[in-house]
Amino acid sequence: MKKVAFHTLGCKLNFAETSAIGRLFTEQGFVSVELEQRPHIFVINTCSVTENADNKCAKIVRDALKVSPEAFVIVIGCYAQLKPEKIAQIDGVDAVLGTNEKFKLLDLITDFKKKQANELATIQVSSIKEALTFAPSYSMGDRTRTFLKVQDGCNYHCSFCTIPLARGRSRSTTITQVVEQAKEIARNHVKEIVLTGVNLGDFGVINNIRKTNFFELIQALDDVTCIERFRISSIEPNLLRQEIIDFVARSKRFVPHFHIPLQSGSDKILKLMRRRYVTALYQERILAIKAQMPSCCIGVDVIVGFPGETEEDFLETYQFLNELDISYLHVFPYSERDHTKAATMDNAVTPKERIRRARMLRILSEKKLRSFYEQNLGKTATVLFESEENEHIIEGFTENYIRVQLPYEAALANTLHKVVLSEINAEGVVIPKLLL
């Protein structure tokens, strides 16, 4: 039997798609293995959000071929769609497949015969304008949590982002199909589903026509009794409508956790980024959430060092975030992307300054997370324990995304338990007391 291994870069959506492609291989008799088991085929699912994500691709190819020199190497994903010729020139790459082709991999490649040293990789990448169909995907392997893709593509054109160029226009599956997939996932003893998409809040567009919306989707999923928890991965602030906040606050299954991209706390920079909101709207969303769910966890994406961001603009962002009742930050130094408006803008911020600003916000994030954890000490919560053992420790997350640890007990894996959040250890993780 031929062995296949996978490596995924980037977002939860990529992990869902890699898992779905992996199932296509196993259905055809391939055996999915880790790289250390010397696979015959190695599939790399790439990201292209930052330059660092681009650079990782070549390194992963080199590292893989050190372990399995004769492996047939296939590169798919966003970077493959955007820079197929560049990837084809990486030593050891045999095939490059674009957005339209990645789910047809086993139809397009049949012999998996490694190319000769002087041959270029096969490129099968069609125009992103042809990305019209939706490919259902979900991750599987970690029994406690599954990433379920319900939306793909994006109709927004933020000045820093290549995702519309790599994934195409916004498109979705139907609510009926999502519900059926949730039930299918539940049959694998999964307790929690994380809804994912490129622009998740834009769910409901099928064949370029809006058929439904995200609010109707979460209402339908709330009645799927075989899943204990649903979590919303990330949603744009302008699409996080009040009715969604109200619904999550009273929901039976949707947990009090939102991840809401901000990108900048300066309205001047938000305009340059072509974002579809201002800081006042963002603040309104945070206040609305906390008014109904005081213990809700709120994560925030921020980009620092965007072209034209002065020190005053950055400090405005820092102060805005410092005063917001949020729980943690995902901080990204701005990275130039080809074919984006931002890449041609004047007043670039130096790489050194981008790193300094990112470091300041990451320190702020640590303080915010510690404060959020402290606010929850003494409270009762429900923890879903993970399946893995790590140095005799088992970890899990509360409904509001507080990470907890206990000494490992196999019986706890993939189970929900009421706990009292009692203390924070030296690593900044909460130690709970189990309730009987």
Percentage of the chain lying above the pLDDT 90 cut: 91
Alpha helices for 163-278 (secondary structure H): 163-167, 175-186, 214-221, 242-250, 267-273
What's the mean pLDDT in 301-312?
Answer: 98
Residue 154 has pLDDT above 70, yes or no: yes
Question: Residue 4: what residue type?
Answer: V
Which of the four pLDDT bands, split at 50, 70 and 90, describes residue 388? confident
What's the mean pLDDT in 4-11?
Answer: 92
What's the mean pLDDT in 229-242?
Answer: 97
**398 vs 142: which has the higher pLDDT:** 398
**Per-residue confidence (pLDDT) for residue 28, from 0 to 100:** 94
Neighbours of 420 (CB within 10 A): 13
**Per-residue confidence (pLDDT) for residue 143, from 0 to 100:** 62
Distance, CA of 255 to CA of 401 (rounded, Å):
9
The model's pLDDT over 211-235, given as tens digits with 9 standing for 90+, comes to 999 999 999 999 999 999 999 999 9
Cα-Cα end-to-end distance for the chain: 48
Query: Which among 403, 250, 217, 383 is positioned nearest to 327, based on CA atoms?
Result: 403
Residue 55 has pLDDT above 90, yes or no: no
The dihedral through the CA atoms of 302, 305, 307, 311 has a sign that is positive
**Per-residue confidence (pLDDT) for residue 24, from 0 to 100:** 96
Tell me the pLDDT of the chain averaged across its residues. 95
Residue 436 has pLDDT above 80, yes or no: no
**334 vs 426: which has the higher pLDDT:** 334
What's the mean pLDDT in 357-368?
Answer: 98
DSSP string across 71-82? -EEEEEEHHHHH
Distance, CA of 35 to CA of 184 (rounded, Å):
28
- Whether the CB-CB separation of 376 and 296 falls below 8 Å is answered with no
Dmax (CA) for the chain in angstroms is 66
**Per-residue confidence (pLDDT) for residue 50, from 0 to 100:** 73
DSSP string across 179-203? HHHHHHHHTTT--EEEEE-SSGGGT
**Per-residue confidence (pLDDT) for residue 142, from 0 to 100:** 60
Which of the four pLDDT bands, split at 50, 70 and 90, describes residue 418? very high
Percentage of the chain lying above the pLDDT 70 cut: 99
Which of the four pLDDT bands, split at 50, 70 and 90, describes residue 120? confident
Distance, CA of 135 to CA of 371 (rounded, Å):
40
Lay out the sheet containing 297-304: strands in order across: 257-259, 297-304, 328-333
**Per-residue confidence (pLDDT) for residue 383, from 0 to 100:** 97
What's the mean pLDDT in 264-272?
Answer: 98
